[in-house]
């Protein structure tokens, strides 16, 4: 049955034995044997190639479906899940600033769509009001400034902290506000601002608390 279907479709497409053989990467004698049933157990990969070349499906060639030859309709495929690895650049304090080691200790895995460049591990409890707890991984998008009220990773005299930022350029004043009433805001003015650098904006966190 499969041999007669191959012959019929090949002739409908006005293909010679040589042309079909060339598509399959085999000889015209092999195609002739397929069509005459001399080779009954055609390899699966060849059945798939035959179906593609003849504009049908393996199921129709093998008699698993009825009706005329047909092609497989195009259905929307599932979207792939993408992930990326972001370097953890060291520790960042949420209580007292501690040195931010720039050596890449390890990596955190995040969704591929997350717009972040690196991450830091939080310490302390000064940001618990923003739902950032000790040990959480905070994802940072590298940028040199943030809008007032946004949480940022900030370097102060070569030490790092994570705070909500309020900058008032007309007063040359920067306030780094914690999210815990136990801690007072950090206020810097005038020349003190020269020793402060914003690393980037906190865009997401990965909690260690389930």
* Residue ranges making up the domain that contains 34: 2-61
Q: What is the pLDDT of residue 91?
A: 64
> pLDDT, tens digit, for every residue of 138-183?
999 999 999 999 999 998 877 888 999 999 999 999 999 999 999 9
In a domain, 89, yes or no: yes
Q: What is the pLDDT of residue 101?
A: 53
**Residue 90 sits in the same domain as residue 147:** yes
Q: How sure is the predictor about 68, in pLDDT bands with cuts at 50, 70 and 90?
A: very low
Q: What is the pLDDT of residue 71?
A: 47
**Residue 107 sits in the same domain as residue 170:** yes
**Residue 110 sits in the same domain as residue 32:** no
**Residue 187 sits in the same domain as residue 103:** yes
Task: Kindly name the residue from 11, 77, 144, 163 that is annotated as catalytic.
Answer: 163
Looking up tokens 């304090």, which residue turns up? 93
Residue 126 among the catalytic residues: yes
In a domain, 68, yes or no: no
**Residue 95 sits in the same domain as residue 142:** yes
The CATH number covering residue 43 comes to 1.10.260.40
Residue 163 among the catalytic residues: yes
Domain count, the chain: 2
The beta strands (E) that lie in 94-193 are given as: 106-111, 118-123, 137-142, 151-156, 159-168, 173-177, 186-189
The CATH number covering residue 119 comes to 2.10.109.10
In a domain, 72, yes or no: no
Considering only CA atoms, which of 118, 135, 129, 113 is closest in space to residue 163?
129
> pLDDT, tens digit, for every residue of 9-39?
888 888 888 888 888 888 888 888 888 888 8
Task: Kindly name the residue from 28, 46, 69, 126 that is annotated as catalytic.
Answer: 126
**Residue 96 sits in the same domain as residue 52:** no
Is residue 86 classed as helix, strand or coil in its secondary structure?
A: strand
In a domain, 74, yes or no: no
**Residue 130 sits in the same domain as residue 193:** yes
**Residue 117 sits in the same domain as residue 164:** yes
Cα 6 from Cα 4, distance rounded (Å): 5
Q: What is the pLDDT of residue 92?
A: 67
Maximum Cα–Cα distance across the chain:
93
């Amino acid at each position: 049955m499969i041999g007669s279907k191959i012959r019929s479709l090949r002739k409908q497409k006005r293909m010679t034995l040589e042309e079909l053989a060339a598509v399959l990467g085999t000889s015209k004698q092999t195609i002739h044997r397929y069509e005459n049933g001399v080779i009954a157990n055609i390899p699966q990969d060849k059945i798939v190639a035959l179906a593609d070349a003849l504009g049908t499906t393996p199921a129709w060639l093998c008699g698993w479906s009825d009706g005329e030859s047909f092609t497989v309709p195009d259905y929307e495929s599932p979207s792939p899940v993408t992930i990326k690895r972001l370097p953890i650049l060291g520790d960042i304090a949420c209580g007292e600033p501690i040195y931010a080691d720039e050596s890449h200790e390890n990596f955190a895995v995040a969704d591929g769509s997350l717009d972040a460049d690196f991450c830091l591990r939080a310490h302390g409890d000064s940001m618990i009001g923003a739902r950032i707890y000790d040990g959480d991984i905070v994802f940072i998008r590298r940028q040199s400034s943030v809008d007032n009220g946004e949480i940022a990773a900030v370097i102060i005299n070569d030490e790092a902290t994570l705070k909500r930022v309020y900058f008032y350029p007309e007063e040359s004043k920067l306030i780094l506000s914690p999210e815990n009433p136990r801690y007072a805001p950090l206020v810097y003015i005038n020349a003190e601002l020269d020793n402060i650098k914003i690393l980037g904006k906190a865009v997401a966190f990965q909690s260690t608390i389930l």
